[in-house]
Structure 1
Amino acid sequence: MSNYPSYCFIINCASNAFRAESFFRNKEAELKAKFSNASFIYIRKDDSITEIARQKSEGCSHIIACGGDGTVNRVANGLVGSDCILGVIPLGSGNDFAQSIGLDLNFDRNVEVLSREIITRVDVVSTDCGYFLNTFGIGVDGLTNYYASKSGLKSGFLRYFVGGLKALFRSEPVRTKISISEHGTDIEQKVWMVAVANGKSEGGKYQISPSSVNSDGKVELIIVKSVNRIRLIYEFLKLSFGFSFNKRIVDEYSFTDSVSISTEGVLKSHADGEQVPENDDYKFKVLPGALKVITA
């Protein structure tokens, strides 16, 4: 890698309702003037964002993920283990990780954040199917994400809201066993969902884990108990308006090393809003400060 900074912008063309490509092509000259050795890669449907990011990290000092949480997740999966710096220009409907590092949808402000280059080491969580930066949801959370990803609704909020209602009516609590490395006793109970949270929110505004900070070396485990369905729907409606779970219906734990979760039957799950293969056995490990990220 050169000693001089070089920036590779990886743009998911499907982002911003498929307007991302034309937007960035109009911004190329401006960005090249601001960032030395800037290059641009436009991601098509069958391209592997992770592999492209991994390849570019060998010759570029900065990789800028331009898209939603899924794009950021796949770029990060290509950068973990390298010395490359991750930057973000959010273009998705949720942008939860971008929010957690102080970004919004103001393009000019986000470019200014990149140019100031305040770097924070962010924690990463490894799983059997890769890494994630923000949240991993199992059960109702994973099914909500599945329905939202299949929805034709344009609004990100509506996709998640309608998907959540579908999931709440079609799910059942499932018996779960959770082993936290720092705890001596396994947790065994029926639950609606488990969220492994390195960040506070999902779906743009759903405050799943308000106490989570993605640079503190620990990750939260949010377990939604087997309360009755009506109570759960009420709590979901509260979440939809920016409130967090009532503490009486959730158990929360923190861990700094590893967690394993097994469920009675395979369940839908997601990592940073991206569906992952259905499973009944999950393992998570905290990698403190594993990724250098430009933050506001």
Structure 2
Amino acid sequence: MSKRLHIRFIINPTSGPKSRVNVAARIEQHLDHRKYKYEIVYTERAGHAPELAQEAAESGCEVVVAVGGDGTVNEVARGLLHSETALAILPKGSGNGLARHLKLPLGLEAAIRVLNQGHITTIDTGNINGHPFFTTAGIGFDAYISSVFAGNTKRGLQTYVELVMKEVRNYKHLPVKASINGNTMDTDCFVMAFANAAQYGNNAYIAPMADIQDGLLDVCLVRKIDLVKALHLSYCMLTKQLANADSAEYFKTDHISVQTEEAMMYHADGEFLGESKAFEVKMLPLSLKVLVP
């Protein structure tokens, strides 16, 4: 018999909708024990998952599984960057952006079957002001919504859309100076999104053409907006047509610098990070191993 692989499950007990599903019991029931020897650990605080993931990688663990939402996936993936250990995902959040992009099933049992039968590939990752991201980062309105969404007890796409419609009337666009592909651009900015993957989550596509293995960011710029345009953009995001919308412009690059006169909010994978007047966003090509169908 070949040597069994070591797999560690990192579970965020507070992720996603409340559920009575016993994740540990399902893992025990459906994981291929001929292929894997497994352990389960639980996060105890914000920032704990990267430590648990890095510890597993340094001990020679072949696969580390993030059990949670986009925030948990981001934390676990940060601990595995540039290592030989592969990230796997059991989606348990409200958005599940990276899981959806990688075409992972959202059901627990089906996701465990991917662990048993899937294969390992390597993807690009991004970095904004020193913070890794794996799906999207951004400055402007989407970061503002991330800050509001973080304090909301309700999750999911409906809550997100309701917040957008409520807040879009009062949010103002700001002037920015962006250096991209050797050119400098002075522009208004309502949203500037930096996409490694195609979507934010919940099948809301900010960059439908994004390739997670091409070494390039898909930069989406929305300059000025009103409620009517916001409704149209929301529709385009949900129908994968944003690239054809008049209000959105796209650029491909491996690095972009942005300067602002006023501090702007920013996020990474939907997690609000704070405010800054300067942003450096870059790609790290093929820097994370992932387990996919």
Residue of structure 1 in register with 2:188 after alignment = 190
Structure 1: distance between partners of 2:54 and 2:268:
19
By how many angstroms is 1:294 displaced? 0.7
Comparing 73-82 with 260-269, greater Cα deviation is found at 260-269
2:291 paired with 1:290 = no
SS in 2 for 1:248: coil
With over 3 angstroms needed to count, the CA separation of the structure-2 counterparts of 1:211 and 1:241, relative to structure 1, is closer
By how many angstroms is 1:131 displaced? 0.8
With over 3 angstroms needed to count, the CA separation of the structure-2 counterparts of 1:272 and 1:10, relative to structure 1, is same
2:270 paired with 1:278 = no
Aligned length: 288
Residue of structure 2 in register with 1:268 after alignment = 265
By how many angstroms is 1:167 displaced? 3.0
With over 3 angstroms needed to count, the CA separation of the structure-2 counterparts of 1:89 and 1:191, relative to structure 1, is same
By how many angstroms is 1:230 displaced? 3.0
With over 3 angstroms needed to count, the CA separation of the structure-2 counterparts of 1:47 and 1:272, relative to structure 1, is closer
Q: Which has the higher helix share?
A: 1
Deviations 1:54-75 (Å, cap 9, x if unpaired)?
1111121110111111111111
Structure 2: distance between partners of 1:150 and 1:286:
30
With over 3 angstroms needed to count, the CA separation of the structure-2 counterparts of 1:34 and 1:276, relative to structure 1, is farther
SS in 2 for 1:221: strand
Report 1:1-296 matches (<5 A): 5-19=5-19, 23-30=22-29, 31=31, 33=33, 35-46=35-46, 48-59=48-59, 60-154=61-155, 156-180=156-180, 183-227=181-225, 229-239=226-236, 241-245=238-242, 246-256=244-254, 258-296=255-293
Note if contact 2:256-2:281 (Cα within 8 Å) is conserved in structure 1. yes
Structure 2: distance between partners of 1:238 and 1:286:
29
Q: Which 5+ residue runs of structure 2 have no aligned equivalent? A: none
Superposition CA RMSD, Å: 2.0
Note if contact 1:148-1:162 (Cα within 8 Å) is conserved in structure 2. no
Structure 1: distance between partners of 2:248 and 2:16:
34
Note if contact 1:88-1:98 (Cα within 8 Å) is conserved in structure 2. yes
By how many angstroms is 1:14 displaced? 0.7
SS in 2 for 1:211: coil
Structure 1: distance between partners of 2:138 and 2:221:
10
SS in 2 for 1:16: coil
Deviations 1:222-276 (Å, cap 9, x if unpaired)?
000224x1343222441464353343212100013x1111222112221111111
Structure 2: distance between partners of 1:68 and 1:291:
18
Note if contact 1:160-1:203 (Cα within 8 Å) is conserved in structure 2. no
Q: Which 5+ residue runs of structure 1 have no aligned equivalent? A: none
With over 3 angstroms needed to count, the CA separation of the structure-2 counterparts of 1:34 and 1:148, relative to structure 1, is farther
The residue identity in structure 2 corresponding to 1:134 is: T
With over 3 angstroms needed to count, the CA separation of the structure-2 counterparts of 1:239 and 1:159, relative to structure 1, is farther
Structure 2: distance between partners of 1:178 and 1:241:
28
Structure 2: distance between partners of 1:126 and 1:213:
16
Deviations 1:174-210 (Å, cap 9, x if unpaired)?
1011112xx2321111111100001111141221111
Note if contact 1:127-1:283 (Cα within 8 Å) is conserved in structure 2. yes
Comparing 47-56 with 27-36, greater Cα deviation is found at 27-36
The residue identity in structure 2 corresponding to 1:10 is: I
The residue identity in structure 1 corresponding to 2:287 is: A
Comparing 242-251 with 263-272, greater Cα deviation is found at 242-251
By how many angstroms is 1:46 displaced? 4.8
Note if contact 1:146-1:163 (Cα within 8 Å) is conserved in structure 2. no
Deviations 1:27-48 (Å, cap 9, x if unpaired)?
2422373552200011133561
Structure 2: distance between partners of 1:122 and 1:215:
5
Identity %: 26
SS in 1 for 2:8: strand
Structure 1: distance between partners of 2:194 and 2:270:
13
